């Protein structure tokens, strides 16, 4: 890299060192995280090039995953990162997340195990700061019809959420469901409420003729499967 103490504008760098030209010449895989981020930022601030600003962001957050789950107040601590630049970064991070999700749905559309659905759901849920419940609706061939947030309630209020889950399942003509929720604490140990919810969910499924394939708890990068543990009831 050139001496950035004197030259802060990327346009003044040798062409081989400019991130955009490097990407077009060698492909995006040849660029560092800071260089990719600098292309999004486009310009720097007074006394600081786009690559300097990008490096500061990477040093602060470590990686793109951390950036996507960071409180906005921390972003505002970075001088020169205004709403427009921040919006560009947030949009790019969300595109990346959705791409991974879409890719996984195409490859793993038929669900044969807890691991199959985890590959789809984990990127969405592992870093959430609050507890969220999702339901995967499947057809008779265990292919995904839909993945949606549970409409009402939490596992601490089992019956309202169970009614809504099966109401949605009937509307979608689902033959089976998988319930998933996260523990923001990172623990994957089922709580007494988790166990009660699973028991009542499975019993309701038998009455409705809809197979409850699993109830999965996500904590960080790990997960617990009631089905794998033989605890569906």
Residue 159 clears pLDDT 60, i.e. is over it: no
Q: In which element (H, E) is residue 101 found?
A: helix 83-107
Residue corresponding to tokens 């870093």: 127
Determine the average pLDDT of the residues in 88-110: 73
With bands split at pLDDT 50, 70 and 90, how would you rate the model's confidence at 15? low
Q: Of 44-48, 145-149, 195-199, which gets the smallest average pLDDT?
A: 44-48
Q: Of 104-118, 189-203, 216-230, which gets the smallest average pLDDT?
A: 104-118
pTM score, two decimals? 0.58
Which pLDDT value is given to residue 191?
92
Phi/psi at 176 (nearest 5 deg)?
Answer: -155, 160
Give dist(CA 179, CA 214) in Å, integer.
6
Which pLDDT value is given to residue 92?
87
Which pLDDT value is given to residue 74?
84
Query: What rounded mean pLDDT belongs to the chain?
Result: 82
Residue 141 clears pLDDT 60, i.e. is over it: yes
With bands split at pLDDT 50, 70 and 90, how would you rate the model's confidence at 9? low
Residue 204 clears pLDDT 90, i.e. is over it: yes
Which pLDDT value is given to residue 139?
92
Residue 211 clears pLDDT 90, i.e. is over it: yes
The superfamily (CATH) of domain 115-225 is Cytidine Deaminase, domain 2 (3.40.140.10)
Which pLDDT value is given to residue 104?
59
Which pLDDT value is given to residue 27?
82
Sheet of strand 211-219, all strands in order from the earlier edge strand to the far edge: 144-149, 133-138, 176-182, 211-219, 222-225
Task: Tell me the range of 12-21, 70-79, 102-111, 195-204 where mean pLDDT is highest.
Answer: 195-204
Residue 188 clears pLDDT 50, i.e. is over it: yes
**83-107 and 33-41 helices cross at what angle (nearest 10)?**
120
Residue 121 clears pLDDT 60, i.e. is over it: yes
């Amino acid at each position: 890299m050139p001496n950035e103490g004197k030259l802060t504008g990327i346009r003044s760098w040798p062409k081989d060192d400019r991130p955009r030209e490097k990407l077009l010449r060698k492909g995006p895989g040849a660029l560092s995280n800071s260089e990719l981020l600098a292309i999004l930022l486009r310009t720097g601030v007074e006394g600081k090039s786009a690559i300097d600003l990008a490096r500061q962001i990477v040093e602060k957050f470590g990686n793109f995953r951390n950036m996507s789950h960071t409180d906005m107040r921390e972003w505002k601590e970075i001088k020169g990162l205004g709403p427009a630049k921040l919006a560009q970064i947030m949009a790019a991070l969300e595109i990346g997340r959705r791409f991974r999700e879409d890719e996984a749905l195409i490859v793993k559309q038929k669900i044969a195990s807890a691991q199959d659905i985890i590959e789809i759901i984990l990127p969405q849920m592992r870093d959430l700061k609050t507890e969220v419940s999702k339901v995967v609706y499947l057809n008779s061939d265990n292919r995904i019809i839909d993945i949606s947030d549970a409409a009402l309630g939490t596992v601490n209020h089992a019956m309202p959420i169970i009614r809504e889950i099966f109401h949605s399942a009937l509307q979608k003509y689902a033959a089976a469901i998988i319930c998933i929720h996260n523990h923001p604490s990172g623990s994957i140990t089922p709580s007494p409420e988790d166990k009660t919810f699973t028991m009542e969910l499975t019993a309701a499924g038998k009455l409705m003729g809809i197979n409850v394939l699993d109830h999965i708890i996500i904590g960080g990068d790990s997960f617990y499967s009631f089905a794998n543990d033989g605890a569906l009831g």
